[in-house]
Amino acid sequence: MEKKLDLTTFTNGECVGAATHQLTGTACAWWDSFSDSHEDPTNISWDEFAEAFTEYHIPKGIMEAKAEEFHNIKMGKERVSEYTTCFANLLRYAPSYVVNSEKEKLYYYHKRLNPHIKLKFGGIESNTLRALVDRCI
């Protein structure tokens, strides 16, 4: 939903309205309950909606397990493209206090690369994750 909303010029409130319009079943019931009990239901921000939605629908244990999986990822013997896909999928579960900049993404990606690939880089630095992935490939 966020990717679709990124393509619009909706305000924060309009994003919440567009997203909640798409909800069905359990998610729709959750939204009705959440907005009915909110002190100011006409001013629910996108961040508040997204946080509450995630907290309700994705158990904390799963989020913690995925964050732990991110912390333990290592490239091993898979191809760079496979490692990159896995890294990108798990990156969204990394706590924001751990990875909140491009520099930190580069650090964690490079740190967990296969040692043989790391050796080939020496002192060469990349400014973006995309540039580092390209160099690894």
- Tell me what pLDDT residue 117 has: 87
- In SS3 terms, the chain reads as CHHHHHCCCCCHHHHHHHHHHCCCHHHHHHHHHHHHHCCCHHHCCHHHHHHHHHHHHCCHHHHHHHHHHHHHCCCCCCCHHHHHHHHHHHHCCCCCCCCCCHHHHHHHHHHCCCHHHHHHHCCCCCCCHHHHHHHHC
Low-confidence ranges of the chain (pLDDT < 70): 97, 122-124
Whole-model pTM: value is 0.66
- Tell me what pLDDT residue 40 has: 93
- Tell me what pLDDT residue 122 has: 62
- Tell me what pLDDT residue 123 has: 60
Task: Domain ranges for the chain, please list them.
Answer: 2-57, 60-136
